[in-house]
Structure 1
Amino acid sequence: MTRPGTSLFDLGKPSARHPGLDGARGLAVVAMVLGHTLDALLAPATRANPWVQRYWELRGITAPLFLLVAGFAVVAALGTSKESAGESFGRRARRALLLLFLGYFLHWPGWDTVHALGWGVELRSHVFSFDALQSIGVSLLVGAAVLTLAHGTWTRAVVLAALAVGIPLASPFSWSAATGWPVELQQAVGMPGTRFPLFPWAGYFFAGALAAHLLRLLRPGWPQGLALVALGAGLLLLTRRLPADWSPTSAWLVAFRVGEGLLVLGAVNLLPQVFSRPLAPLGRTSLWLYVLHLPVVYGWAGTPGLASRVGPTLELLPALGIGIGLLAVCFAIARLASLVRGGQRRSADAQAWRARPVVMDGAALRSGQRI
């Protein structure tokens, strides 16, 4: 068990990277890549296996865990000063815009499809499908603004709680209000067929942000881990006492998935780092693993992917082997790109250091002295 002072979520020491968060995100990445690959390649007979069906049920935590960790990480990266949120707003906004761009870019169908369909509702519904990256991007932008404008521990707690609870509860009304809006806005707010609309998916982001904000009140280490486990278990017990609702606008479902996600974060916090450390590198490259594997599995811009080239024809072991291989290749590409960017950054820093002007005191220069 983690000792106090060595917590994976030591929120008293703000950092852009927390090993525990990266470990949880890495676990979600593995489940995501393998889940997408198996979904595209498994034969119907294999998919009907009872324990494969059980895996599909457990896999439902993947996307909620991504949003939960994203909200948690925003608060975890803040310092204790009131100005820290404002100072990081520009960086958060740029990150949010990058997520929005990549999310829409992955849905580009290719010029042949554009010419065939024309710029109608069908094409716009495809291009502007609101996916996980867009949901995280908008939530990140709103969350960064809220943390900048809301000062004080309890003020932020109230605002984050209102968003975490209010967004899921308002989802049915938001979907009804969006009827008749342009399809781009309907995709973002919520409509039948959308996968990750802001209502209710942004609720996961703000639930994570609220959990991280409240954990600042506790000592780092096992008190925070036990609090996460207790809160997650409490939410799961609450959902068991309420009527189950698996509809896309269900606040019950959000509470259920948040409870599962908090249990994962609590377990990562309490277990020794030897269990989470191997997953942390995957978590640190999660965005690029997401961007790289989707075109391979599902295709992009008219180029077919594995789902079309191979289809649902494979048994479990071959499909699982392809998924693991895809994960390894995408991670290698992401790591190589990271090393190249790091080398370029160090080279630029070195050139800037050599180019710095040296301040000299004119009185110290004597006749014949060489510089």
Structure 2
Amino acid sequence: MPTAARPPRLDGLDAARGLAVVSMLVAHLSPVGGPLTVSEYLTAPLFAVIIGTSMGVQLAERRPAAGPFLRDNAVRASVLIVLGVLLQRVYHQIAVILPYLGLLVVVLAPLALLLHRMPVRTVVLSAILSIVSPLVMDRARAWTATGGDRPRVVLELVHWLAAGGSYRVISLLAMALGGLALATVLRRAGRLPAAWAVGGLLTVAGLGTYLVGALTPAGASAYSGTTAEISGATLLGCASVVLSFGVVQVLRDHGAGRVAEPLLATGRLALSAYTLQILWLALVAAVRDQARDDTWWVLGSSLVVVVGSCWALERTWGTGPLEWLVHRLRRPAVRPRA
């Protein structure tokens, strides 16, 4: 497989994406009720925040035309949706988030074109969605419960957009808009010592939001879709991105940059990492006669297989198979000269 030519990347953003993959494995596979289940509060929100941040950085630094930007994101979204549907059929013990992220990309891309230079309006819209989302979720669930003879594809779409039990595009959109707003200050906020100050403030604000929400009747539990959960998750996701930039810089400044390479490789190959996770878990389930996957052994082996494979793939080929595919699909066709 040839190495795909790639534009310069932000290592801090790749580290945050790698952290999201590791957090996902921990959330999916750590024993239920154990201390590591707190990762459930971070994983999906961090993926959503990173999508928003990535779009904001791309628009600010590469300044693509609207047409190619929307086209590239439509291709990316299509791959996420199709792959997610297929992977969910391969393995049923976890809810595959890829279709939700695909639809999120579709919805977010035109909003990003309009809002990437308006961080205040972006934050306001994110806050509004965090308030409106629980109401829309309740209405959507009530509507789908009385689905009757409505087409299944319509019911499935509503489920992805607003009625989902663990994931909903409307909730993820609020988080992604937080990431889009973060992109406007990321270059400054991600540098030391600002990264510690900004990341610390966002962390305290996120934890405080969760605490206040937990004291209300609606609560703030992971995946609940309450206003407190969405707002707290957005703040913690943004904090994780900023702190990832700070950690990478500290490691580089102390000559320990190689320590971060496995995590960075996993972040760069996140789509292949997600797919490898599902295929590995399906294999493990077949060997273990479909036993539950939330065990320390399955978690440890999955971390080794997923992170180790991504590190090896990047060192050997420079990219992952699915990243190469998306790059090929997004590459504009070259017309032959007359």
> What SS class does the counterpart of residue 170 from structure 1 fall into?
helix
Give the aligned residue type for 1:170.
V
Structure 1 position 180 matched with structure 2 position 143: yes
Give the match for residue 153 of structure 1. Answer: 117
Q: Deviations over 1:31-58 (max 9, x none)?
A: 323443445xxxxxxx56xxxx111123
Give the aligned residue type for 2:126.
A
Structure 1 position 326 matched with structure 2 position 326: no
1:33 to 18, 25, 31: 25
Structure 1 position 189 matched with structure 2 position 169: no
Q: Deviations over 1:182-203 (max 9, x none)?
A: 4213311333x62211132222
Give the match for residue 115 of structure 1. Answer: none
TM-score norm. by structure 1 comes to: 0.66
Counterparts in 2 of 1:334 and 1:231: CA distance versus 1, 3 Å: same
Q: Counterparts of 1:263-278 in structure 2 under 5 Å?
A: 263-271=239-247, 272=250, 273=252, 274=257, 276-278=260-262
Largest Rg, 1 or 2: 1
Counterparts in 2 of 1:174 and 1:210: CA distance versus 1, 3 Å: same
Query: Structure 1 residue 95: deviation in Å?
Result: 0.8
> What SS class does the counterpart of residue 107 from structure 1 fall into?
helix
Counterparts in 2 of 1:198 and 1:91: CA distance versus 1, 3 Å: same
2:133 to 158, 161, 171: 171
> What SS class does the counterpart of residue 60 from structure 2 fall into?
coil
Give the match for residue 100 of structure 1. Answer: 81
Counterparts in 2 of 1:146 and 1:163: CA distance versus 1, 3 Å: same
Conservation of the 8 A alpha-carbon contact between 1:297 and 1:307: no
Query: Structure 1 residue 250: deviation in Å?
Result: 0.6
Conservation of the 8 A alpha-carbon contact between 2:15 and 2:264: yes
Q: Counterparts of 1:18-97 in structure 2 under 5 Å?
A: 18-38=10-30, 53-79=34-60, 84-97=65-78
Structure 1 position 236 matched with structure 2 position 199: no
1:291 to 259, 275, 295: 275
> What SS class does the counterpart of residue 291 from structure 2 fall into?
coil
Give the match for residue 251 of structure 1. Answer: 227
Conservation of the 8 A alpha-carbon contact between 2:18 and 2:264: yes
TM-score norm. by structure 2 comes to: 0.72
Give the aligned residue type for 2:15.
G
Give the match for residue 42 of structure 1. Answer: none
1:221 to 168, 191, 199: 191
Conservation of the 8 A alpha-carbon contact between 2:26 and 2:299: yes
Q: 5+ residue gaps in structure 2? A: 1-6, 145-153, 329-333
Structure 1 position 198 matched with structure 2 position 169: yes
Give the aligned residue type for 2:110.
A
Runs of 4 or more consecutive aligned structure 1 residues displaced over 6 Å after TM superposition = 339-342
Counterparts in 2 of 1:306 and 1:31: CA distance versus 1, 3 Å: farther
Structure 1 position 260 matched with structure 2 position 236: yes
Q: Deviations over 1:115-161 (max 9, x none)?
A: xxxxxxxxxxx9xx98421222222222221233x27833x641x22
Counterparts in 2 of 1:186 and 1:157: CA distance versus 1, 3 Å: same
Give the aligned residue type for 1:57.
V
Give the aligned residue type for 1:141.
V
Matches of 1:56 and 1:152, distance apart in 2: 34
Q: Deviations over 1:70-110 (max 9, x none)?
A: 21111112235865555422212211111111111222379
Q: Counterparts of 1:342-353 in structure 2 under 5 Å?
A: none
RMSD: 3.8
Conservation of the 8 A alpha-carbon contact between 2:97 and 2:167: yes
> What SS class does the counterpart of residue 89 from structure 2 fall into?
coil
Counterparts in 2 of 1:86 and 1:163: CA distance versus 1, 3 Å: farther
Conservation of the 8 A alpha-carbon contact between 2:285 and 2:291: no
Aligned sequence identity (%): 21
Structure 1, 88-97 or 179-188: larger mean CA deviation:
179-188
